[in-house]
Amino acid sequence: MQREVGSLPLAPALRARLAAAGFQTAQELLETGPCGLSKEIGISKEEALEALQVVRQECHGDAARTAGGSGATRKFTALELLEEEQAQGFIITFCSALDNILGGGVQLTKITEVCGAPGVGKTQLCMQLAVDVQIPECFGGVAGEAVFIDTEGSFMVDRVVDIAAACVQHCQLIAEAQQEEDHLKALETFSLESILSHIYYFRCRDYIELLAQVYLLPEFLSEHSRVRLVVIDGIAFPFRHDFEDLSLRTRLLNGLAQQLIMVANDHKAAVVLTNQMTTRIGQSQSTLVPALGESWGHAATVRVIFHWDNSQRLATLYKSPSQKEATIPYHITVSIAFGVESQRGEHSGSCKGTFRHRDKSENDVCLFVGLPSEGNQ
Amino acid sequence: MKFPSCEDVEACASAKLLRSMAAKKLRRAQLSQELCERLSRCQITTCQDFLCLSLLELMKVTGQSYYEVQKLLCKVSRACAPKMQTAYEMKLRKSVSPSSAFLSTTLHSLDRVLHGGVPCGSLTEITSPPGCGKTQFCIMLSVLATLPLSMGGLDGAVIYIDTESAFSAERLIEIAGNRFPTYFDSDEKVFCMTRSIHLYRELTCCSVLQRIMSLEEEIISKKVKLIIIDSVASVVRKEFDTKLQGNLAERSNFLTRGASVLKYLAEEFSIPVILTNQITTSLSNGPEIQADLVSPADDLSLSEGASVSGKKDSGCVTAALGNTWSHSVNTRLILQYHDLPKRQLLVAKSPVSPFSAFFYTIEKSGLVLQDGKDQTNLIWEGTNPALQPIRVRNTALKDTLLSATLPSTTGETSSNTSDL
């Protein structure tokens, strides 16, 4: 297949010169050689050599692609995809009802968007996931690390400490109950300090910092290859002011979505975004819809909306390629650790959390595991 | 009075972004001199301009190949991107100086539920109907912030931006003297405290925004440890009539901009920022209408209808300023009426606390919590903080007429005349 000169990723000025000199295909360029090229178009020998190297790389890339090897576009059969999907892990949320409607939990290599009214629990969920992604494989987790990009400033370290402590405690209980060796071994490295040290936190103050950070994500994830979760808490906030030019905003958001899809696929990570709700004024009524407009709805693969019904919190699966739309109720439990020791022995009775392994009949919709306190009973 | 135009507000606010990382000149992003000159010929001088272009546009203006441009993009991104920290490092930093993580309100049950008090580094909002105690709470917190660390204070100055002219210095001294009689035993201490509270009277949205943006230097020079804006709602509602077309978007724009500047200040200096808000009536089957607080009669009639029938179609009284503003604040405390003189404090939105309710009264020493057996401080009945219904005064009015004695509620009647 002959590649046209105009489609090669060379500098525009160079391309223009090549076109003016009459070159049409990449093959011609390669045949000419660097010295000939430099004489014909009037560039230095070094520049000609660089250009030829780029062309050669492109042609090799093309050849590899047509042969079915790895490259920017990959080819799979559906069977290979099925095997990959089945082997993939999920990041559990500790709420079995929510995990069920998501099909097992938050999926890797997909973008999940969580929309919700203020105060409904989006940041809580993100903090929970940042801890849950680190659960060792023998307990049913994916043993990964987490990147947390915060644009709203709602990340509370103390809350993460509470959640992490509760998670470690649960794993310890399971290990005690089942007494398997790999459980105990995994627990040696699964401690509060290690969980906190593997949450990489970035605070982005405006949309430029957010864009910059997302451009740098591929590099960061290559260096930290164990990252399996990227959370962007508040994708809407930096884009909701300072934008007179809405088409620029749409373009930037689309670019952002593309980058995130690439990151999710290349590094087998789950990307979780949180979005705000905004009021859309209709003719006679106003409804709450996810912010950032209709076109943003295409960016995420899975969309979950958290909302209130009087005093009950509900989660609705709004968009998913594989699961049915469903709504479930949930609670956020709280650990009131201020001056209370946790009581290990009575833990299983009074704890309001739930694991897949032990299904509680009541309260099986509780979301975040908390340490029990005297106030709760 | 001249109403500021949209352009004025935009101009004030856009000046802020220029001081952030995005405005970093490309020169300082370690691009070559030649490249910077070439880019400036196309009016691309800051990182923001660079990152907003698409790849093809970048190739055109830089004259470089695709791969080169990607490397440049990474270089410029590195100049703007925030620094990484692990959650562990953040925890260590907090544990090194634990007292500076929050401002204790000296209301013990509230402090316990909030894990220490009003959190530093985030925005806390206090919403209530008029005369319920917002300004009292703010004055009380101002006193607390000036106290030394050993007494639970922040040992710093306070910036109080007053838009309703409700601040009363006499009440300040009364609260200080009654709450901490042993500490404020000499005139010297009282003057020292009053000297560290800096009051600014701002009456328009634009001036409030300008004031907020100029705070950075003041905070450093005066060693400020608390910012209070009382109240955001009054300036915003005077100038933006949401019934007019386009005003809702303008208002949201102004509010989110203000919120992001305040968040920046709160986080940068690790100080609490307290904002007060008013109430409005939201009809569930129509767009929000503003309760007209200029004439109390209207206010009563609206809320009368709301509280008597609990049905959905009559709407309810909630915090003002809309849904977007509810997203922007990190913590929301609601003060509402109960059986007078008792009032109720609700923790409606908090990242560390569940929905909780406490009873309090307003005394000479400020707010005082009623700790009692009927104290149910963990109620799982909260709802969307943006729509949490708030009880207003008239429901309790008939009770006060029945009960003969009114305890001393000196604070709210004498100095807060402008709350009406």
| Residue ranges per structural domain of chain A | 5-68, 81-369
Question: 């955001």: which residue's tokens?
Answer: B232
Dihedral angle, C-alpha B220, B261, B241, B334, nearest 10 ° = -80
Task: Give me the pLDDT at residue A67, please.
Answer: 56
A·B CB contacts under 8 A: 208
Q: At a CB cut-off of 8 Å and minimum separation 6, what does A120 contact?
A: A306, A307, A308, A313, B384
Task: Give me the pLDDT at residue B10, please.
Answer: 53
Residues of A in contact with B383 (CB under 8 A): 308, 310-311
User: What is A81-369's CATH number?
Assistant: 3.40.50.300
List, for residues B211-229, the tens digit of each pLDDT value: 998 888 889 889 999 999 9
Give the 3-state secondary structure of A286-348. EEEEECCCCHHHHCCCEEEEEEEECCEEEEEEEECCCCCCCEEEEECCCCCCCCCCCCCCCHH
- Does residue A354 register a pLDDT over 70? no
Task: Give me the pLDDT at residue B126, please.
Answer: 93
A152 and A274 Cβ atoms separated by less than 8 Å: no
- Does residue A359 register a pLDDT over 60? no
- Does residue A45 register a pLDDT over 60? yes
Domain spanning A5-68: CATH 1.10.150: yes
- Does residue B377 register a pLDDT over 60? no
Higher pLDDT, residue B286 or A146: A146
Does an H or E element contain A48, and which?
Answer: helix A45-66
ipTM over 0.90 threshold:
no
Chain A nearest CA to B200, separation (Å): 26
CB contact residues (below 8 A), chain A span 27-46, against chain B: none
Nearest to A11 among B22, B65, B322 (CB): B65
Residues of B in contact with A311 (CB under 8 A): 380-383
Most confidently modeled range among A188-192, B311-315, B380-384: A188-192
Q: At a CB cut-off of 8 Å and minimum separation 6, what does B333 contact?
A: B124, B125, B126, B127, B345, B346, B347, B348
φ, ψ at A104 (rounded to 5°): 125, -20
Q: Which amino acid is at B414?
A: S
Q: At a CB cut-off of 8 Å and minimum separation 6, what does A259 contact?
A: A214, A215, A217
Q: Report if pTM > 0.90.
A: no
Residues of B in contact with A211 (CB under 8 A): 51-52, 77
Residues of A in contact with B22 (CB under 8 A): 206, 208-209
Q: Return d(Cα B307, Cα A81) in angstroms, integer.
A: 58
Q: Return d(Cα A224, Cα B216) in angstroms, integer.
A: 36
Reported confidence tier of residue B15, pLDDT bands at 50, 70, 90: very low
Residue of B nearest to A212 (CA): B77
Q: What is the mean pLDDT of residues A311-327?
A: 83
Higher pLDDT, residue B98 or A104: A104
- CB–CB of B326 and A310 under 8 A? no
Question: 């299904």: which residue's tokens?
Answer: A359
Higher pLDDT, residue B9 or A355: B9
- CB–CB of A153 and B266 under 8 A? yes
Percentage of residues of chain B with pLDDT beyond 90: 11
Reported confidence tier of residue B381, pLDDT bands at 50, 70, 90: low
- Among A96-100, A111-115, B106-110, B289-293, which stretch is predicted with the lowest mean pLDDT? B289-293
Q: Report residue B77 as tokens.
A: 């991104």
- CB–CB of B65 and A9 under 8 A? yes
* CA-closest candidate to residue B113, choices A323, A375, A268: A375
A128 and A114 Cβ atoms separated by less than 8 Å: no
Residues of A in contact with B386 (CB under 8 A): 117-119
Q: What single string gives the DSSP state of each residue in B383-398?
A: --TTT-----THHHHH
Residue of A nearest to B380 (CA): A311
Nearest to B326 among A9, A118, A205 (CB): A118
